[in-house]
Structure 1
């Protein structure tokens, strides 16, 4: 038995709001599977399970705000000697009503096993009768099956995005949205029972909603707590938010138009601003607190270097011609790989400054600053970057940026970074001097890659150049160490075959 706790999803996080459970007691869970959605000051995070087992008791209800480290649920693991975890996700075959004893063999993929049996006797689970063979092969938990059944969705037609193709709650919600857009008549034919919205801590009204709906409501300036959801159990969906936005009264002709984002501060004290979510004011407050703490407590020093990317540019063109378009790399991936290898060579810039001094990191875990389209930033982490080949770095970079901009990060994306990289080259700036995210000791910035005159072997030419900057903590390193780090980055980018 292990405790599933509220994870720390950032150095500045002290509590989180549990938005949704994606599993229920009795469901089989696997390491890496997303089991819950947690809201922080910056984004809704999909929290993964770190153990194989059977979900036991759920201790925290949806809508509750609890501190980091609080026990959210209990997971019964194989190590307990009380349960067998199937190799395949639960189906709904004719053995679904039985709980296997600890000494029983693992059933086939067309059978379903229940949770821990505690004793050797078989106990009824009261599950649904046998379904078709095709249905039994669908990889989904009973909660997801129930959600799909209530919405009239055929799970066999859904491609799961979970581990091993497992169907997750978000997959069903997308299918529901698609079905509603094709025919609203079918969606209105039956109405599912709805629960009364829960009340979060502090007396605030909690409305169940998908993460996408919450983000859309923030963008459109819609107060999500005032909506009545059309989803299962009254959950607010994206279609409900759009309908509310279209039904809102238009701006008076005599008044200047104000964007939904800009209008939010006018509702000071209103539900949208005081509710716990990833709304813009709360995100800005979190960023402000972290950056103020950094500038007040970290003695920064700054270095910069202009790097010739001619060789890297040619190498990248050659490498990209040999792979499909979807697998092609960009210069930012080379930047990250160079930083990772340089940080391994110069460990004084890779780690954390804590109360008792500097602690170098055994791995290079790079935080990547991602600017959000609605304002604000997130910094997901690419872990173990020094041991990843370039194609893997590119794939992971694409993934974390996509999830960050849709505010659908996973808990594995929020692992503590040991060094951070910011790149504003796409915005055309020559250079960027970052602020170190505590408790890290360095941040590397890259500006735009631009054609500039350059002397090469005594001849004047034009080469693609980039300005790399380093902001480092003077408590952990000195200027000479920082210079060696920047020079190592330059050397690697000028010899891309070493990447």
Structure 2
């Protein structure tokens, strides 16, 4: 009998993904381990491998279409099988695929559909909060729906399918169907000509996580001005003898200085969970990289044990893969600390949002010449403003201040980063 190819969870917290491109065509022979498709998640584009031998008999989710985790996306035919076997049972190739039931929502045919669905949906179902809201808005009852999310959970796409399969009822009048003052769904009134750019998986995830961070993480902020004249002089000396594509950046110094500071203040290298504070043994630094789809934060693992040259080379490689959507999950998941540097855009200072479950993020501004007092005399120095955002649940104010003070000391005495 045919085998279902299901979409696995390719990264932590993944609920759905886009099938970016099928690498095999229908009717093509497939061996276990062959690459079947490219899958675009919220963080990267990854390759899906075949879990069994066979022939790709039917593609269920085409290029550019979205599928949920554990949803069947294709069928593999065994030896001697063809499309005639589709009437029989289908075996799962991995996981336990569940197909969303396309049961028409009876409530959608009634005038008070949304109210009825909202009342019905107050009964506890295994459904995501977004699915509940969407079901109430569209008049879809959760009873009778089979979820395609993890452990059979009802997710957004299940509700959308049920809404699409509901019988269409002709409106009594055009006025009743579309009030004169109503705007298209999701478009604020008064908006003029515009182009609607659909959300990518990455953009939706960024929005969800930033909202979660600001709503659930008690941020507090610490500021410092760092004199980086010594750093710039050392950098110029190092780069004078290096090829252009191997030169050390100010950001490489910042990464190494943050790693050194966390080594000096290990109690700040932590992750908050509801059960315990996790004290991390390795100093892994996440660095924000701008891509066409949004920000992603690849990790420099064990940054406190690496030289400036090693950090620089690794950061260049990670940033290139990030912009190509080619990062592996282990290259962007983990760590307890992040860096966001907007200095190259001329930003003097800003406050960054913590990336849960991490406990802190350092926002780095541009270096600029400013008047300072030295030994009672007015002088000019290149100053760089930094802002440390800290999760107060895991790192207290005094501990955060120690971490920022350690960073300031290290970055202003950069020769120590070479030993």
TM-score in terms of structure 1 length: 0.51
Q: Deviations over 1:91-135 (max 9, x none)?
A: xxxxxxxxxxxxxxxxxxxxxxxxxxxxxxxxxxxxxxxxxxxxx
- Equivalent in 295, 303, 308 of residue 222 of structure 2: 303
Aligned pairs for 1:348-367 within 5 A = 348-367=267-286
Corresponding residue for residue 31 of structure 2:
25
Q: Deviations over 1:444-472 (max 9, x none)?
A: 11001111112233332211111111111
Corresponding residue for residue 374 of structure 2:
456
Aligned pairs for 1:195-274 within 5 A = 263-265=195-197, 273=198
Question: CA, structure 1 residues 203+468, in 2 after alignment: closer, same or farther (shift >3 Å)?
Answer: closer
Whether the 8 Å contact between 1:48 and 1:412 is mirrored in structure 2 is: no
What's the secondary structure of 1:304's corresponding residue? strand
Question: CA, structure 1 residues 285+460, in 2 after alignment: closer, same or farther (shift >3 Å)?
Answer: same
Corresponding residue for residue 14 of structure 2:
13
TM-score in terms of structure 2 length: 0.60
Whether the 8 Å contact between 1:35 and 1:46 is mirrored in structure 2 is: no
Corresponding residue for residue 46 of structure 1:
46
Q: Deviations over 1:379-426 (max 9, x none)?
A: 222222222211111112212222223333333322223211101101
Q: Deviations over 1:153-176 (max 9, x none)?
A: xxxxxxxxxxxxxxxxxxxxxxxx
Corresponding residue for residue 131 of structure 2:
none
Question: CA, structure 1 residues 348+38, in 2 after alignment: closer, same or farther (shift >3 Å)?
Answer: farther
Unpaired segments ≥5 residues, structure 2 = 1-5, 25-29, 75-156, 161-191
Shift of 1:350: 2.1
Question: CA, structure 1 residues 361+65, in 2 after alignment: closer, same or farther (shift >3 Å)?
Answer: farther
- Equivalent in 250, 256, 259 of residue 340 of structure 1: 259
Whether the 8 Å contact between 2:347 and 2:366 is mirrored in structure 1 is: yes
Distance 2:416 2:326 in 1: 34
Whether the 8 Å contact between 1:20 and 1:38 is mirrored in structure 2 is: yes
Corresponding residue for residue 435 of structure 1:
353
Corresponding residue for residue 303 of structure 2:
385
1:495 aligns with 2:413: yes
Distance 1:368 1:46 in 2: 21
Shift of 1:376: 2.7
Question: CA, structure 1 residues 366+20, in 2 after alignment: closer, same or farther (shift >3 Å)?
Answer: farther
Distance 2:51 2:358 in 1: 37
Question: CA, structure 1 residues 22+284, in 2 after alignment: closer, same or farther (shift >3 Å)?
Answer: closer
What's the secondary structure of 2:310's corresponding residue? helix
Distance 2:283 2:369 in 1: 31
Question: CA, structure 1 residues 291+25, in 2 after alignment: closer, same or farther (shift >3 Å)?
Answer: same
- Equivalent in 316, 320, 342 of residue 402 of structure 1: 320
Aligned length: 288
Distance 1:291 1:461 in 2: 41
Shift of 1:65: 3.2
Distance 1:48 1:360 in 2: 34
Unpaired segments ≥5 residues, structure 1 = 29-33, 50-54, 73-200, 205-256, 266-272, 274-278
Shift of 1:474: 0.9
Distance 2:214 2:208 in 1: 10
Q: Deviations over 1:319-360 (max 9, x none)?
A: 111211111111001001111121222233323211203112
Shift of 1:285: 2.8
Whether the 8 Å contact between 2:253 and 2:308 is mirrored in structure 1 is: yes
Q: Deviations over 1:189-230 (max 9, x none)?
A: xxxxxxxxxxxx8799xxxxxxxxxxxxxxxxxxxxxxxxxx
Distance 2:383 2:48 in 1: 41
1:331 aligns with 2:250: yes
Question: CA, structure 1 residues 6+382, in 2 after alignment: closer, same or farther (shift >3 Å)?
Answer: farther
Question: CA, structure 1 residues 15+466, in 2 after alignment: closer, same or farther (shift >3 Å)?
Answer: same
Distance 1:378 1:294 in 2: 15
Question: CA, structure 1 residues 430+450, in 2 after alignment: closer, same or farther (shift >3 Å)?
Answer: same
Question: CA, structure 1 residues 15+425, in 2 after alignment: closer, same or farther (shift >3 Å)?
Answer: same
